[in-house]
Structure 1
């Protein structure tokens, strides 16, 4: 029998992500969970949870230890692994997605379109990656 003495389970909830529509397995998928005040500005949120995962293995992801509450998720398919969403004339050249899969018109969605509640028991989100170019 293997004991768990000294190991404690991660605090917080678990978020299961299903990612659909990656056009290839090149590069990485960058994920960022943020609160309202930092929506679309991941680096500015001290409470953010971010991950970078190989695109080849990014179809199903579990993020554990997420504090329950209201969150938004931003995803970028960083095909060239340069750590940012590349744009051409203001339009994204790489894939992107958001929690709750809002309709994308002119510009990014509002926080109200992408926010979701993460209860203490955990939750799931399915994100469809969109490519404009």
Structure 2
């Protein structure tokens, strides 16, 4: 019996999920409706382009700060973009200049000035459990 338990422990540690947890706290939510839409990127190629994020997540909004714990990302380098889809139309609504009309944010709390931020500016390394506090820009 002891051998079986040791064998199962070995298999669990060898084949178990070794992914660190990424906790994202989204702050400065102005409206208590809609969802926070999160895109995860792992390369600068096509960073921030629609439909190319390696993972997407949604959080229903019901308070001024929302949290998600992501457990399915392997160790590596990533960048996060997110927006508050207040009207639940599954797109980041923009004005005629292309500036988001809904709250938005990026990992490292990058604040774009004249253009979208680069992957390099937003990049972080996930090798152990990590907490990101991202403040929405309006």
TM-score normalised according to structure 1 size? 0.83
Deviation beyond 3 Å, 4+ runs, structure 1: 7-11
Q: Secondary structure at the match of 1:53?
A: strand
CA RMSD across the alignment: 1.9
Which residue in the other structure is 2:39 paired with?
32
- The number of residues matched between the two structures is 122
- Which structure has greater helix proportion? 2
- Three-state SS of the structure 2 residue aligned to 1:52 is strand
How many Å apart are 1:44 and its aligned residue? 2.0
Which ranges in structure 2 are unaligned for 5 or more consecutive residues? 1-11
Matches within 5 A, 1:94-133: 94-119=102-127, 121-131=128-138
Q: Which ranges of structure 1 fall in alignment gaps of 5 or more residues?
A: 1-6
Match of 2:87 in 1: 80
TM-score, scaled relative to structure 2: 0.80
In 2, are the aligned partners of 1:72 and 1:115 still within 8 Å (CA)?
yes
- State the structure with more CA Rg: 2
